[in-house]
A and B are shown apart, each in its own frame.
Chain A
Amino acid sequence: MNEYIILSLVLYALGMYCLATKRNMIRLLLGIEILINAANINFISFSRAIPGFIDPLAYSIVTVSIGLAASVTAVGVIILVYAHRHYGTLDVRVLKRLRG
């Protein structure tokens, strides 16, 4: 089980790295997907904590959370499309008009 926790922590770190360094707006949305998937992997790996028993709670949680992640990304993509219409680019550095 430890391997899975390490994997999910690495995924979480990767997602945060993606959010901190990437400039493309689509990549930022993918970074959020990576963060949520890190948590999902954790849930699935913990569901086998007791030998010989798989907890259905974790599976239902993960199913719902995948749906939620999809809806967040959908809203993100809609906003991204409008941002592209206003700015003509997907570079997030251009979105800096709001200041102070």
Chain B
Amino acid sequence: MFSLPIDTLLIFAITTPALGWLLERVKRANLCGIYAAIGLAIVTWEILYMKVPLNSGLMFIDQLGVFMALAFSILGLMACIYSIKYMERDEAIPLFYSLLLLMIAGMIGCVFAGDMFSFFVFWEMMCIASYTLVAFRREKWEPVEAAFKYLIMSSAGSASILFGMSLVYGMCGTLIFNDLYKILSNVSNVWIYVAAVFIFIGLGIKSAIFPLHTWLPDAHSAAPSSISAMLSGVVVETGIYAICRIGFTVFYGIYNQWMEIIAILSIFTMLVGNLTPLLQTDIKRLLAYSSIAHIGYMLAGVSTGTILGLTAALLHIFNHAIMKGSAFLCSGMILYRLETREMKEMAGIGRKMPITAAIFSLSLFSLIGMPPLNGFISKLLLVMATIEANMAWLGAAIIINSAISAAYYLRTIKALLQPISSKKVEEAREGPIIMLAPLLILACLIVIFGIWPDGLIEFAKSAANVLLRG
């Protein structure tokens, strides 16, 4: 009904707990992770071979949707394989996979939706699954507190989106994106500004734009590591996608105004995201803050409004999913072995876990923007796009912020390579192979998309063309 990938995900989401109930009888509940991973692999394959554009009533699938859905399903598959070992000590494992699949289904539904209301329904599905996943380790106080904060802020944002949508409905009598574009592209009255304020506040909370970012570091560091990778790598980016899609269809008539505001906010978002982690000693909080900084880079690309800027922003979404996913999964590996997130206590872990430390350093170098890696390509395109759009000040902000960010990323790498000081680290050993496999795949993708980015850039360009109707 909702196009093939979403239907597959929903079927797997429903059957996973049933299978898990059977597997729990034979004390092998973590095997249903393999079942969920098979489902995600099928979905990735289906998305890769999808014919676009496809219009099926509720869903309108185009290049942009497929581009985003591919990022979601690849990172989802890696997080799912990783969780098989990572989550095996927890209770209620089948429900974990069920919620993970529902969250991915919600995200893919968001990017495939053809009208604003089905977008909202899938958005809420993603949100509800992510609240539950953040609070999954409910026996500790930290996830519960973070999840409550996340739930209150994020659902207030969702309610704002719904309110804005009701105003758009009142103006047009329809919520289908293509019709809204035709009706509203020349309209600029008071009500459209009011609706834009409500909708952008709602989307801004979910995509952690300054000053609405306060929930992000708590929720992302308290969640289990594979979920942190998903939240930071793709869930937040769904908000950026929504800003692009809704901004370029519904609010195309007041394009210049919201672009300027987004450009200014992007600089503040970058600054907050890069200055706060300088003082952090908790490794997952540091990575969570750095995703705020990367949201700022993406917004800078969106705010240029040119084809190159949007290509760069979409490419950075894809690359950030891979880089940050890999970084979070590596920090999860260290957490799995040492059970600490403090940087001081993990001094010298690189000597005991060489493969994890190498992949972690690779993803951190990529997040800085070192030349042969994929982070460099998208940041270069972002800077080029800002110069092309006569917004060189924005490009300068990106370069300065990347330089600041190098300080805390390099500090993390230094912590990995220091001499060993504690006994815990002395006894640590390399992580299990099933957790290393997704890390190795992500590391390969970082290098491959850094050396041969052409195919991905073409794909991102065709997706950006959809937004600008080129």
- A: residues with CB less than 8 A from B are 5, 8, 12, 15-16, 19, 25, 28-29, 31-32, 35-36, 38-40, 42-43, 45-46, 49-50, 55, 57-58, 61, 64-65, 68, 71-72, 75-76, 78-80, 82-83, 86-87, 95, 97-98, 100
The answer to whether A82 and B146 touch across the interface, beta carbons within 8 angstroms, is: no
A46 touching B169, Cβ below 8 Å: yes
State how many angstroms separate the Cβ of B69 from the closest Cβ of chain A: 22
- Is A98 a contact of B145 with CB atoms below 8 Å? yes
Nearest neighbor of B116 in chain A, beta-carbon distance: A61
Of the stretches B2-10, B136-144, B394-402, the one at the interface is: B136-144
CB interface residues, B 148-167, toward A, < 8 Å:
148-149, 151-152, 155-156, 158-160, 162-163, 165-167
Tell me whether B151 and A100 are in contact (CB under 8 A). Answer: no
A82 vs B443: C-alpha distance in the bound complex, in angstroms? 38
For the complex, give the distance between the alpha carbons of A57 and B162 in Å: 14
Tell me if B132 and A75 are in contact (CB < 8 A): yes
CA distance A16 to B135 in the complex (A): 25
User: DSSP class of B's interface residues: helix, strand, loop or mixed?
Assistant: helix
Given A86-B141, A97-B145, A75 contacting B131 (CB threshold 8 A): yes
Complex alpha-carbon distance, A15 and B160, angstroms: 11
Q: Which residue of A lies closest to B132 (CB)?
A: A75
Query: Which of chain A's residues have a CB closer than 8 A to the CB of B345?
Result: none
A16-B156, A39-B159 known; 9 other A-B pairs, CB under 8 Å?
A: A12-B163, A15-B159, A35-B163, A38-B159, A42-B163, A58-B169, A75-B151, A98-B142, A98-B146
Given A42-B163, A72-B124, A100-B285, A25 and B169 contact (CB-CB distance below 8 Å): no
Q: Inside 8 A of B148's CB, which chain A residues have their CB?
A: 25, 76, 79-80, 83, 95
* Chain A residues within an 8 Å CB radius of B145: 83, 86, 95, 97-98
A-side contacts of B128, CB under 8 Å: 71-72, 75
**Nearest Cβ distance between residue A89 and chain B, in whole angstroms?**
12
| Residue contact B159 to A35, C-beta cutoff 8 Å | yes
